[in-house]
Structure 1
Amino acid sequence: MSDIDITRLTLTDARNALAQGDFSAVELLYAVYRRIEATEPSIHAFVENYPREGLAQAEVADRRRKVSPSPPPLLGIPIGVKDIFDIAGKTTLCGSELRAGCDVAVRDSDAVHALRRAGAVLHGKTVTQELAAGVLSPPARNPWDISRIPGGSSGGSAASVAVGGCLGALGSDTGGSIRIPASVTGTVGLKPTYGRLSTRGVFPLSASLDTVGPITRTVADAAALYLVLAGREAEIDAVERKLTAEEEPSLKGARIGVLTSFFNERIQPDVAAAFQDAASALRDLGAEVVECDWPHAPAARAAALLISRVESAAVHAEAIRDTPDLIGEDVRFRLEIGAMTSGITYVRARQTREAVKQSIAALYREHELTAIVAPTTAATALSADDPVVRWTDGVEESAGAALTRFTMPWNATGQPVISAPCGFDEDGLPIGLSFVGRPDEELELCNLA
């Protein structure tokens, strides 16, 4: 066996190599651990690794492969787990002092159970922003530039995938927490249709918005993990063949919407240029690119923001009252704002959410859209020491506001969204492109991406 280049290996490549006997699950895991050992001092993507348990799982995977005529689809594949998902026998700390000393989980979350059933090697918990509420994810850093943030709140998951600490990872998305880290780390993040994947055993932030999904290196990898989480493993091989086929790609017949106004405002020039290049590439592949406006995008963002704030305050009401000193200042302020928001305002936000869902559905019908494309974020990875965007007109925008501005509207509508890399800025930092689909069309989105 030649050395495994874990910096380039994809989940799909590893699945095929394991099936062909190019290397064993144990050898693959050792390559991952060597990479983690080399990078963790600067990247800090993991809260905790489980080398003994991981090795035991890899050994079992190798034995199963020898005797099973139809091994499960992720057999022997190392997968990271964001530290808001329960793993039986492990603590779920959520990046918060509030959870220090908590009991270990008595059962796997449904997402972890799905991965385990599919044969994945669950070798560590990845860093999350405190209580999954934010976009910085300290102490994790961005592998493209360790002075920069990896996004959040699933920043550790994205950083670990980007650097080779796992071949895929679980994330969650309430206001952009899968897509933002994917965008700024050059990985792929899929937010499925709201409510389609179980959140049981996932520490809540906002139940009306929380969505489970994968972060991976390629679109094919994201599709495979999504199908596992959805209990649709039987479809993986056919989908993989379609997404990795070598024939010339074509988007003939697809109508792709490009939104004006809101998604073009306050955007870094390099991000805007990469987006225009991506739209041109879609045209070159045969898609019909349709300019259209969705004037309710700001209302969708506002509705998601208010719903998230109020529901997260309800989750942590006891902590706000009894142990506020155990909550970081930024998150505590966010929770306090939510606690002070009136019930009338919350109900109106819920009503607004229903209205914007209807308005975006009408836009798709009016223009006969296959999907919409938009920049994932208005800016690339920000400085960890100074996470602020300074616009040319002198306005300063916090990381939380700048990075969720283009993602949060889609949490309000609940549509599936996949963010894939589409270029780099002048500093060599990745830029993400979002494909926004109709409900339950995750695989169609993957095909476009």
Structure 2
Amino acid sequence: MTTLLHTAERLKQGLTTPDELVAAALVAARHGAHVFIELFEQRAIEAARASTERWRDGTPLSPFDGIPYAVKDLLDVAGTRTTAGSITRLDAPMADADAQVIAALKARGMIALGKTNLSEFAYSGLGLNPHFGTPKGDMAVGERRVPGGSSSGSAIAVQRGIVSCALGTDTAGSIRVPAAFNGVVGYKASTGRYSMHGVHPLAVTLDSLGPFARTVADCVALDAAMRGAACPAIEPGALFRLRLVVDDAVLADDALQPAVRHNLLAMMECLRGAGAQVEHRAVRAVASTRELIARDGWLGAIEAWRLLEAIVEGPDGARMDRRVRARLRSAKAIGPGVEARIRQARDELMAAIERELDGALLVMPTVKHVAPAMAPLEQDDALFAAVNLQTLSLTMIGSLLDMPGVAVPSGTDPAGLPTSVLFSAPQGHDDALLGACLAMESTLHAAKVRG
């Protein structure tokens, strides 16, 4: 599949045009059932025409001028409706302005192809949507698998090669999980890295943004564009200075599938052989965070319930995905005293993880399992709830502690389904994380080529 940076190079050399890129993307999008809630066909074609003229005149707005990308339907695009994946918002007013990150990409000449599908109100890690359909990845397995959520359509748009990159949001794992299930790279930023202006909220303390792409290098380039930077300032770190802490307690979890564990350990051995320092030990702050969530509940659920209670309990509640509605209702009994305790513990654990890692990156599986079969989850709500919780259980740790994370494909299981490794850093250390992941990507790619 063509990457963002490769496409930019082809534009620079005159080997393609924005007209051609957008036309091909629209054709592919029409064949990707349920990936998009809305396609911006006419405006994308017009934007491509203008971009093609700029390239012919030698005045492109940036190296990415004319490259199409996909937008999760949780971000405002001026003149379109933000549905948040819910039919309860089909009569919501049209956005009168672009979300700030959309405006930044537009200023670079990038073209929003359309709004991608998602779990209703972004409140599920599995990606099913009974209202707009559930997107399907291009997987070499007979049984249909879940796409991961909530940013299902954005991940599938990249996985199927419709676009080279897409935007998602992440509150409990909504970028990292679908990236893992679909064998692409997903970067969840620290909450303060991008403006959330024009992004439909779910849990404001935890809501964050980030890109999907085929490579870490593409994510770094898109990250710079999303922040309005002229070019990426992040360079690959020195691999021999890189310290990685693999949480052995997580690897000992009985629910961890063998291929997920095996592929993570193989990746670590490759990086160790190339000079990285790899430590295996239990991380106390991770264990304490898991215990906190299990004992007191999920902070994101408390905030989501507060935001959506009127819809859930009002006349529109019956129109919601019953599984999302039930999960939201489960948070209504969590009282203010428990919430205060969670917030205090969160602050303490954020400081503790930074001390404990001491400059190292945390390494865990992104998800304990490969993408599960869809049919049983559609038929059994109790199974759906249990699998959803297992799916999000590792990414929720980084979300609660506001850790930026990069989900990187690590291989496949015997059936050919993707596995993934999650690299995370303490809050605000996004640049160091991305630089380290750039260095690791180069090493892993070279090892794959040699192998």
Normalised TM-score (structure 2): 0.89
Distance 1:143 1:448 in 2: 30
Q: Which one-letter code corresponds to 2:231 in the other structure?
A: E
Q: Is the 8 A contact 1:114 1:229 kept in 2?
A: yes
Deviation at 1:170, TM superposition (A): 0.6
What does the per-residue CA deviation read over 1:281-301, in whole Å, with 9 as the maximum and x for residues that have no partner? 110110111122223324424
Distance 1:296 1:57 in 2: 48
Distance 1:443 1:295 in 2: 25
Q: Which one-letter code corresponds to 1:331 in the other structure?
A: V
The DSSP-based 3-state class of the residue aligned with 2:363 is strand
Deviation at 1:269, TM superposition (A): 0.6
1:292 to 281, 285, 299: 281
Q: Is the 8 A contact 2:365 2:421 kept in 1?
A: yes
1:170 to 161, 164, 167: 167
Deviation at 1:305, TM superposition (A): 5.1
Deviation at 1:318, TM superposition (A): 1.3
Moved more, 74-83 or 316-325: 316-325
Q: How does 1:47-58 map to 2 (within 5 A)?
A: 47-58=37-48
Matched, 1:235 2:234: no
Q: How does 1:109-258 map to 2 (within 5 A)?
A: 109-138=99-128, 139-144=134-139, 145=141, 147-232=144-229, 234-236=230-232, 239=234, 251-258=239-246
Q: Is the 8 A contact 1:264 1:272 kept in 2?
A: no
Q: Is the 8 A contact 1:250 1:285 kept in 2?
A: no
What does the per-residue CA deviation read over 1:10-29, in whole Å, with 9 as the maximum and x for residues that have no partner? 11100111111111000111
Q: Is the 8 A contact 1:223 1:443 kept in 2?
A: no
Distance 1:310 1:299 in 2: 20
Deviation at 1:321, TM superposition (A): 2.7
Q: Is the 8 A contact 2:105 2:228 kept in 1?
A: no
Q: Is the 8 A contact 1:45 1:156 kept in 2?
A: yes
Q: Which one-letter code corresponds to 1:142 in the other structure?
A: G
Q: Is the 8 A contact 2:402 2:426 kept in 1?
A: no
1:405 to 380, 393, 397: 393
1:447 to 435, 439, 442: 435
Deviation at 1:322, TM superposition (A): 1.5
1:77 to 58, 63, 67: 67
Q: Is the 8 A contact 1:161 1:187 kept in 2?
A: yes
Matched, 1:101 2:91: yes
2:306 to 311, 314, 336: 314
Name stretches of at least 5 consecutive residues in structure 2 with no aligned partner.
Answer: 129-133, 438-451
Q: Which one-letter code corresponds to 1:321 in the other structure?
A: E
| Partner residue in 1 for 2:426 | 438
Change (3 A) 1:397 1:378: farther
Change (3 A) 1:316 1:350: same
Deviation at 1:330, TM superposition (A): 1.4
Deviation at 1:250, TM superposition (A): 6.2
2:344 to 343, 347, 351: 351
Distance 1:439 1:314 in 2: 25
Name stretches of at least 5 consecutive residues in structure 1 with no aligned partner.
Answer: 1-7, 244-248, 389-394
| Partner residue in 2 for 1:391 | none
Distance 2:252 2:174 in 1: 21
Distance 1:160 1:176 in 2: 18
What does the per-residue CA deviation read over 1:191-245, in whole Å, with 9 as the maximum and x for residues that have no partner? 111222111111111000000110111111111111111222x233x65xx56xx
Q: Which one-letter code corresponds to 2:92 in the other structure?
A: C
Deviation at 1:110, TM superposition (A): 1.1
Distance 2:304 2:198 in 1: 16
Matched, 1:421 2:421: no
The DSSP-based 3-state class of the residue aligned with 2:144 is coil
| Partner residue in 2 for 1:362 | 355
Moved more, 74-83 or 287-296: 287-296
Change (3 A) 1:444 1:267: same
Q: Which one-letter code corresponds to 1:58 in the other structure?
A: A
Q: Is the 8 A contact 1:298 1:409 kept in 2?
A: no
Matched, 1:328 2:321: yes
Q: How many residues align?
A: 421
Deviation at 1:361, TM superposition (A): 1.1
Q: Is the 8 A contact 2:350 2:426 kept in 1?
A: no
What does the per-residue CA deviation read over 1:38-85, in whole Å, with 9 as the maximum and x for residues that have no partner? 3x14xx211111211111111111122233556324211111000111
Distance 1:172 1:397 in 2: 21
Deviation at 1:122, TM superposition (A): 0.7
Q: Is the 8 A contact 1:161 1:167 kept in 2?
A: yes
Distance 2:82 2:427 in 1: 31
Distance 2:297 2:41 in 1: 39
Q: Which one-letter code corresponds to 1:192 in the other structure?
A: A
Distance 2:340 2:238 in 1: 45
Q: Is the 8 A contact 1:306 1:346 kept in 2?
A: no
Moved more, 115-124 or 295-304: 295-304
Alpha-carbon RMSD:
2.0
Deviation at 1:133, TM superposition (A): 0.3
Normalised TM-score (structure 1): 0.89
The percent identity for this pair of structures is: 29
Q: Is the 8 A contact 1:370 1:437 kept in 2?
A: yes
Distance 1:195 1:250 in 2: 26
Q: Which one-letter code corresponds to 2:135 in the other structure?
A: A
Deviation at 1:396, TM superposition (A): 10
Q: Which one-letter code corresponds to 1:31 in the other structure?
A: A
